[in-house]
Amino acid sequence: MGRWRGAGRTRRIVLAMAVFLTSCAKPAVVTKEAPVGPPQVRIAQVGADDEAREITGVGTVAVQREASLGFTSAGRILRLSVNEGDRVRRGQVLAALDTTTVSAELARARAERTRAAAEYERSATLIAQGWITKPRLDNAKAALDAAEAQVRAAGFQAANATIVAPGSGTVLARLAEPGQVVAAGTPVLTLGEEASGYVLRVPLSDRDAARLTSGLPAMVTLAALGDEAITGRVVEIGGRADRATGTFAVEIALPADSRLRSGQIGTARIIAGGARDTVLRVPATAVFAARAGDGFVYVVDRARRRVVLRQIRLAEADDGGIRVTGGLRRGEIVAISRVDRLKDGMAIAPIGPAAGLVR
């Protein structure tokens, strides 16, 4: 009996210790993973600005009227008295041919005219005496007329064996040298007429040229004039594109200034007439994978709160963002953050000032 009583006491002690240890043990903490929601993405609304149609181009200064001067007959150049850049006055002799051949031709023509005149006089005397027929007299008269024509032609060539300045101006190009044999009509000198004034010739695209009309004002800056802004006006718009570049030449008349020279570089800003252009822009952070005038943006589907990948056409960038020429409409919403982590059709949580525009 004593042995069973001791065993019972031992079991009670073990049970009491188990209860004590159980009551002291910390309960296990059960954690739940928080649900992952759509990423927060800053959005912006595509805006539009009304801008004046300003057209900018870079061109070169030139004399408005340039004349290519040459001889009316073939020959060897005896003298060239001017160089490129020289200023000349009206009537000044600029170049001359060796007139040995021309003078000989004129002498021969005059001698032939003398012989034909004598033959005609003799024939007129003989027909009066009844010794020759009328057709023979007519032939003598025709020979005399031909000789007169040869004298006039040779005289013209002799008189034009020199090149005379048709007006005051500047020699723009010297295209031949003394001793060189040239054909009739070959350009020898290029002369810019000062009286015509200077122009800035600017090559423009067909789109820009079509928006211009004669008389529009233009602000021109020239480095040679210290980038001082001068006011010109459009005086001529090319009627055909340059075959090599596809651009149209636009001439802007410049005010008289003794510092102007052909070949100077200038920049022109022309405000086109008519209505103003509506320009769409997006923040630069909205565009990615831009290449060759195209890029991509994520447009926000307002009803579904998801982004849709869209390709757009891009123009130039400025402080206001990147100009968009196609693929977007005014008022649409685009993502402007985390664009490198988004995917087409992905749900987002819009944030930013434009978040209230998304339902």
What are the tens digits of pLDDT across the range 325-352?
Answer: 899 998 899 999 999 999 999 999 999 8
Q: Give the pLDDT score at 67.
A: 87
**Among 290, 306, 302, 310, residue whose Cα is nearest residue 331:** 302
Higher pLDDT, 6 or 193: 193
Q: What is the mean pLDDT of residues 119-142?
A: 88
Euclidean distance between CA atoms 296 and 72, whole angstroms = 65
Coil, helix or strand for 131?
coil
Query: Higher pLDDT residue, 193 or 45?
Result: 45
* Mean pLDDT on 138-161: 88
* Residue 27 reports pLDDT greater than 80: no
> What is the average pLDDT across 25-54?
69
In this prediction, residues 51-63 reach a mean pLDDT of 82
The DSSP bridge partners found for residue 314 are 324
CA dist 245 and 242 (Å) reads 6
pLDDT at 160: 77
Q: Residue 57 — very low, low, confident or very high, per pLDDT cuts 50/70/90?
A: very high
Q: Which residue has the tokens 């043990």?
A: 25
Q: Give the pLDDT confidence of 218-245 residue by residue, as tens digits.
A: 999 998 888 888 999 999 999 898 888 8
Pair type for strands 288-291 and 306-318: unpaired
Q: Residue 162 contacts by C-beta under 8 Å, 6 or more apart in sequence?
A: 93, 94, 95, 96, 97
> Mind listing the pLDDT tens digit for each residue in 262-293?
889 999 999 876 545 567 889 999 999 999 88
If you average pLDDT over every residue of the chain, what do you get? Answer: 84
Give the confidence band of 133 by pLDDT, cuts at 50, 70, 90: confident
Instruction: Scan for tokens 């977007």, then name that residue.
Output: 328
Question: With 50 as the cut, is the pLDDT of residue 87 above it?
Answer: yes
User: CB of 359 within 8 A of CB of 303?
Assistant: yes
pLDDT above 70 covers what percent of the chain? 87
* Confidence at 257, pLDDT banded by 50, 70, 90: confident
